[in-house]
Chains A and B, each alone.
Chain A
Amino acid sequence: MHSRLSYKAQLRIFLLPYVVGSLILVIIPALATVGVAFTEYNAIQPPQWAGLANFVKLFNSPLARISLRSTVIFLLVAIPLRMTGALLLALLLQSRRRFFTFHRAAVYLPTIIPEVAYAIIWLWIFNPLYGPLNWFLGLFGVNDIAWLTDPATAQAAIIFMSLFTIGEGFIVMLVGLQNIPLAYYESAEVDGATNWQAFWRITFPLILPWILLLSFRDLIIAMQGTFTPAFVMTYGGPNYATTYAPLLIYELAFDFFDFGMAAAALIVIYLVLVMLIAGVLNIVSGWGDNA
Chain B
Amino acid sequence: MRNKFLLVLLVLALGVLVGCDSAEKTPVSFMVFGDSAELAAYEALVTEFENQHPAIEVALQHIPDQGDYRRRLAAAFSSGEPPDIMLLNYRRFGTFADQGGLEPLSDYMAASEVIAESDFFPITIDSFKWQGDLWCIPQNISSLVVYYNRDLFDAANIPYPSSNWSWDAFLDAARALTQDTDGDGVVDQYGVGIEPNLFRLAPFIWQNGGRLVDNESNPTQLTLDEPVSLDALQWFVDLQVVEGVVPDAAAESAETSQSRFLNGTLGMIFNSRRGVPTYRTIDSFTWDVAPLPFSRRPAGILHSDGYCMAAATENKDAAWTFIEFANSAEGQSIVAPSGRTVPSLRSVAESPLFLDPAQPPANSRVFIDSIPSLGRVPIMSTWIAIEETAGNEIERAFYGQISAEEAARTAISRTQTYFDQNSLQP
- Which A residues are closer than 8 A to B by beta carbons? 42-45, 57, 60-63, 127-131, 144, 146, 148-151, 237-240, 251, 253-257, 259
Contacts and interface: CB of A to CB of B under 8 A. Distances in A.
Given A42-B99, A43-B75, 7 more contacts: A63-B389, A128-B253, A149-B253, A239-B392, A254-B71, A255-B67, A255-B388
A150 B253 CA distance: 11
B392 A237 contact: yes
Interface of B: 67, 70-71, 74-75, 77-78, 95-96, 99-101, 249-255, 382, 384-385, 388-389, 392, 395-396, 399, 401, 414, 417
A42 B392 CA distance: 24
Nearest to B418: A256
A62 B414 CA distance: 8
A237 B250 CA distance: 13
Contact of A237 (B382, B389, B395): B395
A257 B255 CA distance: 32
Top 7 A-B pairs ranked by shortest CB distance? A129-B254, A44-B99, A128-B250, A43-B78, A44-B101, A149-B249, A43-B74
A61 B254 CA distance: 32
B88 to A, nearest CB: 12
A146 B388 contact: no
Contacts of B254: 127-131
B255 A129 contact: yes
Contacts of B388: 251, 255
A257 B95 contact: yes
Given A149-B250, A237-B395, A255-B385, A44 B100 contact: yes
A240 B95 contact: no
Contacts of B96: 44
B253 A45 contact: no
A115 B255 CA distance: 22
A238 B249 contact: yes
A239 B396 contact: yes
A148 B253 contact: yes
Contacts of A253: 74
A61 B401 CA distance: 22
Contacts of B396: 238-239
Given A146-B250, A239-B392, A255 B70 contact: yes
Nearest to A234: B253
9 contacts: A44-B100, A45-B99, A128-B253, A129-B254, A130-B255, A148-B253, A237-B395, A251-B388, A257-B95
B249 A256 contact: no
A63 B410 CA distance: 12
A257 B74 contact: yes
Contact of B100 (A43, A45, A131, A239): A45
A256 B396 CA distance: 22
Tell me the dominant secondary structure on chain A's binding face: loop
Given A62-B414, A129-B250, A146-B250, A239 B401 contact: yes
A74 B356 CA distance: 55
Contacts of B389: 63
A144 B250 contact: yes
Contacts of A130: 254-255
B146 to A, nearest CB: 25
A150 B249 contact: yes
Contacts of A148: 253
B370 to A, nearest CB: 29
Nearest to B414: A62
Nearest to A250: B71
A239 B393 CA distance: 8
Given A44-B99, A45-B100, A240 B392 contact: yes
B101 A127 contact: no
A226 B401 CA distance: 25
A237 B101 CA distance: 32
Nearest to B98: A44
A44 B250 contact: no
Given A144-B250, A148-B253, A150-B249, A254 B95 contact: no
Contacts of A131: 254
A60 B417 contact: yes
Contacts of A256: 382, 384-385
A265 to B, nearest CB: 14
Given A129-B250, A239-B392, A254 B401 contact: no
Nearest to B79: A43
Given A237-B392, A256-B384, A44 B77 contact: yes
B97 to A, nearest CB: 9
Given A42-B99, A44-B95, A255 B384 contact: yes
A238 B249 CA distance: 10
Given A44-B100, A62-B414, A255-B388, A146 B249 contact: yes
Contacts of B70: 254-255, 257
A13 to B, nearest CB: 15
A129 B259 CA distance: 15
Nearest to B101: A44
A253 to B, nearest CB: 7
A151 B392 contact: no
Nearest to B186: A129
A56 to B, nearest CB: 11
Contacts of A60: 417
Nearest to A148: B253
Contact of A254 (B74, B249, B399, B417): B74
A256 B422 CA distance: 11
Contacts of A44: 77-78, 95-96, 99-101
Contacts of B399: 149, 238
A157 to B, nearest CB: 11
B257 to A, nearest CB: 14
B49 to A, nearest CB: 27
B381 to A, nearest CB: 8
Contacts of B95: 42, 44, 257
Contacts of A259: 74, 78
A286 to B, nearest CB: 42
A216 to B, nearest CB: 30
